Structure 1
């Protein structure tokens, strides 16, 4: 990074300034980031930190990746927004390449991950009525306990996290919740009204929970046999994070619909998408769903550049190779403050001995040592560095975690 740009106010003063004017819907770590490049960020006082969270996987390619910044600059000089009232010259190319990358037929561009989930729900219900023949307003969607799909009113309606739900009812009906990683329970919940099974291939917010081998293949077989859709939420797990383009590829599974977001915008603009089979997304007709900003030229330009980075397979291979370094390093910490962990690619949920502190407290200690990570629940922290991180940086971060846990 170049020389830091100092602000007129320091970290503590800026944090205090937020208190009266920002809604208190987040509890961020007490660090004020001013600049970033690659896997590193810098606060307003010029202190550097290794980013081991990467914007909850929105920054898979690191901060300000040159190819993505260049794509954004180039498009900013030409055209940023038309709305979908008109065509733009970037959208078709983006959709074609994203469909090819994910092995799907059609793309529905949106902006945020929650919008992609909401759109997926609408598509599944419309398909159930128009194609499957479910009676009007009777469609159900089966989801997994401990899920995290977003925070809109409909999405928290099928959350099992009381912090996300409490105080926000009445809730949207039409969802059935079953335990994650339980095919028998899933089979019992699916009936003739079921439009779709909506699951995360890896549950991120729950602590990077990885299902048993065969679970995703079982979901695919069950949904096909029962005549409903398999909708995979790959908003956090997708686009290289786990060592494949999509996490479902670890079991060679092809869902009917895949939900994408976060890394699709390269950490520059919000970009999300619903991708899937033509006979599923084809149920939508003009006026039934839309978004003023969805598919805008700037988003399409950046999204295309993201797809170009993934088309080579280099980032997927990098995540797989460095994932081995991450797993090996975490395995060495078991019994040294770590009581267990789950990892796939460059993504891990680390369970710390509760006697050493909560996940929040461990994250704060890491921050003071120059490592940015974040807790999930209890004494679990998640690690998800940019895919641009080096092996040396990764081992250094694990060494700092050991220091924090054993000192």
Structure 2
């Protein structure tokens, strides 16, 4: 369906998903392994344009999730032409056997635009999961130590090493873990910082730990920002015990927080930096690990390699995206508009203090935690009401209790006003207890998510 002929949701009481989305959902359940689907609303996406997405039934939504923070420049941006032009010249070379210039150009660009005043190299991959895998493999080979320190409710991926490194799902036992992965609390207060650092120091003193893996802001955990000074102290502690400092910027990177990399807010130079998601603005699967030359080169030839790593058209797209962010006013815009949106959400918190517990985050990586004490499905209900009114939020956190707001970095002030207007309307419906039985039924049936509350629906 042509996006120019879309239909807005004019009836705010219209139940979603629509009939075509329901059919797509039925086929998903019939043909796709259940591990591949964690539904937010049961709607199937057909197209995108600018900051908007459209479902298969023709309903349009302002996208505040951007394909899990991948589509950072929005939709229909012209990147497809860059890909096509590059593919016409060279569709594939298998870089491990034959280098190509596109991959070399992207590697140089990443090396020159990541923190760290030391010789660096790059390892290319296809996803955030395999990039985390590469970092852990390199850490182990370089340090000759196998244990990794990471944090509860971090999410690092679903492959052999990235999955046990993740701290999300520990309480449910859904991910396999081993003695080589130690998960600590992600401190939110100065007092907690002192305690956690002491525990990590004890782990370092065992001589088994080769590195620490951390998200500068925890994403799937509910946009959790670390307590002041924690990341810096953690870096100092890691250096003291010759442990590598590995930063997972898969979600926080590529300008999401107002800097190209979130770790730059703390003036920290990591040993290894991991990126994916927004690296290609959602156009192609690509990832990279950028870090110390001697660490990267500790891996043997072909020890971490993929047929499609360094894929020429993908690298040309990623090169364009990085340059787009660092050469224009994107970062200033993210900082400015992120603060405008956050301030407006804080005003809503003052109006609805019994519903909104906290508004947090940096740039256009924001989280709005709702008070679910009286209703475990309150956050899903709020997001569903917003969906009916044309806003597509994510909801994440330990108990699906946080509205995740990660729109395109190109979000305009007019679009910000729309987000706030719809949020206010949904909050008012909740405050006045005007949630219809049909909405409650749809939420129970279609809004699953990844938090603990999702167990009851799986």
The corresponding residue for 1:30 is 42
How big is the shift at 1:165? 6.4
The corresponding residue for 2:109 is 97
The question of whether the paired residues in 2 share the 8 Å contact of 1:202 and 1:209 is answered with yes
Q: How does 1:16-55 map to 2 (within 5 A)?
A: 16-25=26-35, 26-28=37-39, 29-55=41-67
The corresponding residue for 1:144 is 151
The corresponding residue for 2:204 is 190
Q: How does 1:344-383 map to 2 (within 5 A)?
A: 344-354=362-372, 355=374, 357-377=377-397, 378=399, 379-383=401-405
CA distance in 1, matches of 2:168, 2:265: 28
Give yes or no for the alignment of 1:243 onto 2:258. yes
The question of whether the paired residues in 2 share the 8 Å contact of 1:156 and 1:164 is answered with no
The corresponding residue for 2:274 is 259
Q: Secondary structure at the match of 1:334?
A: helix
Q: How does 1:215-294 map to 2 (within 5 A)?
A: 215-294=230-309
Normalising by structure 1, report the TM-score: 0.92
How big is the shift at 1:160? 3.7
The root-mean-square deviation of aligned C-alpha atoms, in Å, is 2.0
How big is the shift at 1:303? 1.1
State the number of aligned residues.
Answer: 395
The question of whether the paired residues in 1 share the 8 Å contact of 2:152 and 2:170 is answered with no
How big is the shift at 1:44? 2.2
Q: Secondary structure at the match of 1:236?
A: coil
The corresponding residue for 2:406 is 384
The question of whether the paired residues in 2 share the 8 Å contact of 1:341 and 1:351 is answered with yes
Q: Secondary structure at the match of 1:102?
A: coil
Listed one character per residue, the Cα deviations across residues 160-214 of structure 1 (whole Å, up to 9, x for unaligned) are 4337963654x44411122113333322221323211111010001000001121
CA distance in 1, matches of 2:106, 2:160: 30
Match of 1:312 among 308, 311, 327: 327
CA distance in 1, matches of 2:202, 2:312: 45
CA distance in 2, matches of 1:88, 1:145: 40
Listed one character per residue, the Cα deviations across residues 114-134 of structure 1 (whole Å, up to 9, x for unaligned) are 0000001001101102xxxxx
The corresponding residue for 2:455 is none
Listed one character per residue, the Cα deviations across residues 105-149 of structure 1 (whole Å, up to 9, x for unaligned) are 2111111000000001001101102xxxxxxxx521111111110
Q: Where does the alignment leave 5 or more consecutive residues of structure 2 unmatched? A: 8-18, 188-192, 430-458
How big is the shift at 1:248? 0.8
Q: Secondary structure at the match of 1:36?
A: strand
The question of whether the paired residues in 1 share the 8 Å contact of 2:238 and 2:244 is answered with yes
The question of whether the paired residues in 1 share the 8 Å contact of 2:391 and 2:419 is answered with yes
Normalising by structure 2, report the TM-score: 0.82
The question of whether the paired residues in 2 share the 8 Å contact of 1:151 and 1:164 is answered with no
Q: Secondary structure at the match of 1:288?
A: coil
Match of 2:86 among 38, 56, 75: 75
CA distance in 2, matches of 1:81, 1:123: 26
Q: Secondary structure at the match of 1:10?
A: helix
- Gap change, CA 1:4 and 1:31, over 3 Å in 2: farther
Q: Secondary structure at the match of 1:388?
A: coil
How big is the shift at 1:360? 2.2
Listed one character per residue, the Cα deviations across residues 40-72 of structure 1 (whole Å, up to 9, x for unaligned) are 011223221000001121111112322x22211
The question of whether the paired residues in 2 share the 8 Å contact of 1:179 and 1:185 is answered with no
Deviation larger for 9-18 or 112-121: 9-18
CA distance in 1, matches of 2:201, 2:81: 48
How big is the shift at 1:16? 2.4
Give yes or no for the alignment of 1:64 onto 2:79. no
The question of whether the paired residues in 1 share the 8 Å contact of 2:115 and 2:270 is answered with no
Give yes or no for the alignment of 1:323 onto 2:338. yes
How big is the shift at 1:156? 2.8
The question of whether the paired residues in 1 share the 8 Å contact of 2:256 and 2:409 is answered with yes
The corresponding residue for 1:177 is 183
- Gap change, CA 1:261 and 1:165, over 3 Å in 2: farther
The corresponding residue for 2:449 is none
The question of whether the paired residues in 1 share the 8 Å contact of 2:87 and 2:312 is answered with no
How big is the shift at 1:326? 1.6
